[in-house]
Chains A and B, each alone.
Chain A
Amino acid sequence: MEDRFTIPQKFRLAAYLLIGIGVVSFTLGFFIDSQRTWANFLLNNYYFVSLAIGAAFFIAIQYVAQAGWSAAFKRVPEAMTAYLPVGGVLFLLMYFGMHSLYHWTHEEAVQTDRLLQHKSPYLNETFFFIRMILFFGAWIILTSVMRKISVKEDIEGGTRYFYKSEMYSRILIFVVALTFSLFAVDALMSLEPHWFSTLFAGRSFMAAVLHASTIIAFIVFMLHRMGHFKMLNHSHLHDFTRYIFMASIVWGYFNFAEFMLIWYANIPEETAFFAHRWDGVWQVLFYANIVINWGIPFIVLMPRKTSRSKPVLIPVIILLMIGQYTELYYIIWPATVHKASFGLLEIGCFLGFTGLFSLVTATALTKASLVPKNHPYLEESVAHHF
């Protein structure tokens, strides 16, 4: 089934325009309020890197579980992982903004702080960037190897490549579980270096899986609208919904477990994070996160009818896109900017990164047939019905 995707001229122009808006916002931002701009930079880059990692994990799950339904759509998450090299480079650019974001990078702060001294063998700038290079290196190597195998399968066929991909998927799940946890701790949790939470990594990982599966579904719908993926039917929709629904519940569970244990144990080192965010806008955001990322998807996607209908799914997907933003905003802003500022700068930066991500993903989609040609489960996926 040859189904080539070419980027429409309008889409390319729109993406360039968005990137332009982003570049302008960042440049202006660095002159006006560099700290807030770096916070934006971290938030947006983390947002899209987590989407790419979630997408990589999505492919790996499909292979390990030998899932048939998703075989026809696997080029979409594969294309999303193409953002990882870009995200990696952008993360290394944060070298110039470390002092604006991370308290532990200040020499004088470490000297007067026993806890930061204790943590300094791990939390220091050199090791931070070594880790970043290692994490991104591992992700880029694994995802590009899987991509290569997948493209080779198109040409040569046979089940050999399927088993190879399955093997790499196992490695990828193991590596991502370890590295992404550490990555979330490094990038987000170390914004508040005095705070401890063991569940933070799990929650960040689940957030990545949740939002990546919504974006995968969203891209599939967009491509369907453009006339690709003609075989998309209600059963496929239901399976996409199941992923969103499942990940949403697990995210809610992690989020609640983290909060409840900290609230119950009432240890000052742990409660500081929430106590700091227990008034004004932050408290509203705390509840909004739960409602947006768990409450509404849980209730709306529960019935069979709504989970098979696109008019219901698309608003939920857009809501979850906002949900990932509010969650990261809730984590990053009180620790760096210290006041709830949301304005043109935030919108511009987000649009810029959106344009970049869309362009990278779309370019990766054009490089191979949109539907894999020789995947052993392709026929099952096309005829999927339950």
Chain B
Amino acid sequence: MNKKYFTGVFSDEDSLVAAFGKLKEKGLKPDEVYTPYPVHEILDGMGNKTRISHAAFFFGLFSTIGLIGFMYYVSVIDWPLHFGGKPFNAFPSFIVVNIVATILVITILTLFTFSVRAKIFPGKEPEIFHPQATDDKFVMLFSSEFSKEKEDMIVQIVKEHGAIEK
């Protein structure tokens, strides 16, 4: 938070997208864009494809294998019990438990993965770069070190469509 940063503030989607396009043409990119709702051009343009669905898939895969293994261990190896003449490995009846438990595991692990990657934890100081970023304004954040020349260019482009706040 101590780092030097400046923001570009826009009041509507069109001017944001226009400024974003011009910045991209010059090979410049904001470090983060805050919008009240998802904007396709920004999502594509920022180029940060989420990999969380892949993570979720593998959590699901491993939890399915792990849970079935656990139930097999409990009911066949460790403590075999007869239930109404069923085999110890009563596979069809494991599936229901397995589906529900897999959903639980995926939800919790994905939540933790997201929190770790986004560096969010309880009691964290909120990082609000612009007071209206959580409101109806579209905010671009520039926090990396830019050369003087590049910074001027950014300021010029942003000012065409919105306002600069340092």
Contacts and interface: CB of A to CB of B under 8 A. Distances in A.
Interface of A: 256, 259-260, 263-264, 266
Q: B84, B92, B93, B96: which has the most chain A beta carbons within 10 Å?
A: B92
Nearest to B85: A266
Contacts of B96: 260
5 contacts: A256-B95, A259-B92, A260-B93, A260-B95, A264-B92
Give the 3 A-B CB pairs with smallest separation, nearest first: A260-B92, A263-B92, A264-B93
Contacts of A259: 92
A260 B91 CA distance: 10
Contacts of B86: 264, 266
Contact of B84 (A256, A260, A266): A266
Interface residue tally on B, bucketed by range: under 10
Interface string B67-111: 000000000000000001110000011011000000000000000
Interface of B: 84-86, 92-93, 95-96
Given A256-B95, A260-B93, 13 more contacts: A256-B92, A259-B92, A260-B92, A260-B95, A260-B96, A263-B92, A263-B93, A264-B86, A264-B92, A264-B93, A266-B84, A266-B85, A266-B86
Contacts of A264: 86, 92-93
Contacts of B85: 266
A231 to B, nearest CB: 19
B85 to A, nearest CB: 7
A15 B141 CA distance: 64
B117 to A, nearest CB: 21
Nearest to A386: B40
Contacts of A266: 84-86
A266 B95 CA distance: 17
A332 B84 CA distance: 31
Nearest to B92: A260
A263 B86 CA distance: 9
A263 B92 CA distance: 8
A256 B85 CA distance: 21
B83 to A, nearest CB: 9
A260 B85 CA distance: 15
A248 B86 CA distance: 29
B113 to A, nearest CB: 19
Contacts of A260: 92-93, 95-96
Contacts of B84: 266
A266 B85 CA distance: 9
B111 to A, nearest CB: 21
A260 B96 CA distance: 9
A366 B15 CA distance: 48
A266 B86 CA distance: 9
A259 B92 CA distance: 9
A266 B96 CA distance: 17
A384 B84 CA distance: 55
Nearest to B83: A264
> Which of A256, A259, A264, A266: most chain B CB closer than 10 A?
A264
A31 B85 CA distance: 48
A256 B95 CA distance: 9
Contacts of B93: 260, 263-264
B139 to A, nearest CB: 25
Contacts of A256: 92, 95
A266 B93 CA distance: 13
B142 to A, nearest CB: 30
Contacts of B95: 256, 260
B98 to A, nearest CB: 12
B40 to A, nearest CB: 9
B37 to A, nearest CB: 14
Nearest to A263: B92
A264 B93 CA distance: 7
A256 B86 CA distance: 18
B43 to A, nearest CB: 12
Q: Which interface residue of A256, A259, A260 has the most chain B CB atoms within 10 A? A: A260
